[in-house]
A and B are shown apart, each in its own frame.
Chain A
Amino acid sequence: DIQMTQSPSSLSASVGDRVTITCRASQSIDIYLSWYQQKPGKAPKLLIYSASSLQSGVPSRFSGSGSGTDFTLTISSLQPEDFATYFCHQSFSTPLTFGGGTKVEIK
C-alpha cells in the first residue's frame, strides 16, 4: 500500500500569511494527488486534483505542485475562512490512501 505522509500535522498562521503544506508518497504516484479541505462537522471539499489543477469554484489563492513522491499545497494569502484541516490523497493505485491531515489554526 502507498503511504502518504503530510507535514506539518498542525500549524499556526495569521490572516495574510503564505502557508505551505507538504505531502510525501512512499512510492511514485505520478501526478495522481488531490487536496481536500475539511471544516469541523462538515464533509471534505476538493481543492486540487491531478497535483496542480484547481477545482472549479475554488479561489485562486490555493495552488498545488509536485509529481512523483513530493507534493505541495500552497495558500498564497491565508483568509479567515481557510482555517481548517487539509488532507492529501493518492489515487495512483488501490487501496486509495489519505495523508494524516494538517490542521491550520489561527495564530
Chain B
Amino acid sequence: EAQLVESGGGLVQPGRSLRLSCVASGFTFDDYGVHWVRQAPGKGLEWVSGISWNSGSIAYADSVKGRFTISRDNGNNSLYLQMNSLRSEDMALYFCAKARGYKWPLYYDAFDMWGQGTMVTVSS
C-alpha cells in the first residue's frame, strides 16, 4: 500500500530549529513532486513548500522563505523540511503530500496522497 509517513515534529522554543522527515513507500518516489502543507490548530490548509521529482524546481510560501529549506533524497525515498528561526505562527500540523502528475512541474497539479502529519509546537 502506498503511503507517506512524517516524523520529526515536537516542542521547540522560538528561534530554534527543527527538521521534519517524510518517508514514502509503495510507489516510485523519484517520479513525483512532493510538498509540505501545514494546518494550524482549528485553521485551514497552508502550502509551505514543494520540490519537483528531480529537485530541479523548488518553491516556498512567502511566510517561510529564507527560514525553511526543502530537500529530498530519492535514494532513500525521503523528503525533508529544515525549519530555522521558528516562530509561534509556525506552530501547526505539517503534512507531506505527493503530487499527482508523473514528472510534472510544481504547478498545474494536485495532491493525491497525504501523510497523517507531524505536529510542530513552538513555545517557550
Residues of chain A having any CB pair with chain B under 8 Å: 1, 32, 34, 36, 38, 42-46, 49-50, 55, 87, 89, 91-101
On whether the beta carbons of B111 and A95 are closer than 8 Å, the reply is no
Number of A-B residue pairs at CB separation under 8 A? 69
Answer whether A44 and B45 are a contact pair too, CB < 8 Å, given A93-B107, A94-B106.
Answer: yes
Stretch at the interface among B23-31, B55-63, B74-82, B83-91: B55-63
Q: What are 30 A-B contacts with C-beta separation under 8 Å? A: A1-B62, A34-B111, A43-B95, A43-B114, A43-B115, A44-B111, A44-B114, A46-B100, A46-B110, A46-B112, A49-B112, A50-B110, A55-B110, A87-B44, A89-B47, A91-B107, A91-B109, A92-B108, A93-B107, A94-B50, A94-B59, A94-B106, A94-B107, A95-B47, A96-B35, A96-B47, A96-B59, A96-B107, A97-B47, A98-B46
| Interface SS, A side | loop
Within 8 Å by CB of B107, from A32, A45, A50, lies A32
In the assembled complex, the Cα of A58 lies from the Cα of B30 at a distance in Å of 26
- Chain B residues in 8 Å Cβ range of A36: 45, 111
The interface size of chain B toward A, counting residues with CB under 8 Å, comes to 24
Within 8 Å by CB of A91, from B44, B110, B114, B116, lies B110
On whether the beta carbons of A89 and B117 are closer than 8 Å, the reply is no
Residues of chain B having any CB pair with chain A under 8 Å: 35, 37, 44-47, 50, 59-62, 95, 100, 106-112, 114-117
Answer whether A89 and B106 are a contact pair too, CB < 8 Å, given A43-B116, A98-B47.
Answer: no
Nearest 10 pairs between A and B by C-beta?
A43-B114, A49-B110, A34-B110, A94-B59, A96-B47, A98-B45, A101-B44, A95-B61, A46-B112, A91-B107
Instruction: State how many angstroms separate the Cβ of B84 from the closest Cβ of chain A.
Output: 19
On whether the beta carbons of A98 and B59 are closer than 8 Å, the reply is no
